[in-house]
Amino acid sequence: MKDIGWVNIIAAIFVIVLFVCVFGWGFWLTWTIGPDIAAKQQAAKNVERDRKDATRRFEDAKAALEKAEDSDRDSLKRDFELRRTELEAVNRKADELSESVAALMERFSGNWHSVATLLAGFVASVVAARHGQVLESQAILKSAVGSPRRALMAVCSLFTDLTSWRTRLNVLYASVYFAFALVAFVFWLCAPFRPEMINNLASISLALGIAMAKSVFD
């Protein structure tokens, strides 16, 4: 307990609890309203395509009406009004879908995204620093003792020896981070909709995993 103060312990625990709450909230929202957002986004794309077609038909009808002879104006005017009504209906539907998607997306916007990105980067840096300490200890022990088996046992003890709060917090950070990173990867690969906070966690985790794997072989 001498190597770390209570204030540092409380701050470290607060950060990891905040990490769990923020990303737990993000996973829950993605699971519950993500499919609805994805469906509405796809519907909005389809309506946007319909709007382009309706606009083209409306412009064609308008041009035909402007060039029509008096004898043909009545029928062309009816077609023009029909195309205008069609375009107005498609525009209303597109606006409704856009507003609906924006309302759902607001649940992921604001300061939550910045906080989630900051937390993901901070916890990843703690885990990366811990990994660096393990590799450094392993190299020192191998050169000093000359026994790879004893060196590996000593390195493993860095993760299993829970006699100090610093080690406990290191294990807690690594366990929580990799558990949430795994969930983020599942969402990243399988979820129909993924907010930026989950994409960032998955990408940061992937970069960290590649760096850690590379450092082992280096």
Domain coordinates in residue numbering, the chain: 6-217
8 A C-beta contact, residue 119 and residue 40: no
What are the pLDDT digits (tens) for 140-193? 334 434 445 554 554 455 455 545 677 778 888 888 998 999 999 999 888 888
Owner of token pair 């205008």: 84
pLDDT tops 70 at residue 39: yes
| 47-to-85, 91, 96, 111 alpha-carbon distances in Å | 15, 8, 11, 31
- Mean pLDDT across 92-97: 90
CA 195, distance to chain mean position in Å, is 4
Q: Find the range with the poorest average confidence among 97-101, 137-141, 212-216.
A: 137-141
**Which candidate, 62, 177, 184, 78, places its Cα nearest to that of 125?**
177
pTM given for the model: 0.70
Alpha helices in 148-164 (DSSP H): 148-160
Listed ranges 37-51, 57-71, 110-124, 196-210; the one with the highest mean pLDDT: 37-51
d(CA 152, CA 154): 5
**Which candidate, 201, 190, 207, places its Cα nearest to that of 23?**
201
Where does the pLDDT of residue 197 fall: very low under 50, low under 70, confident under 90, or very high at 90 and above? confident
- Mean pLDDT across 33-40: 90
List of residues 6+ apart from 160 with CB closer than 8 A: none
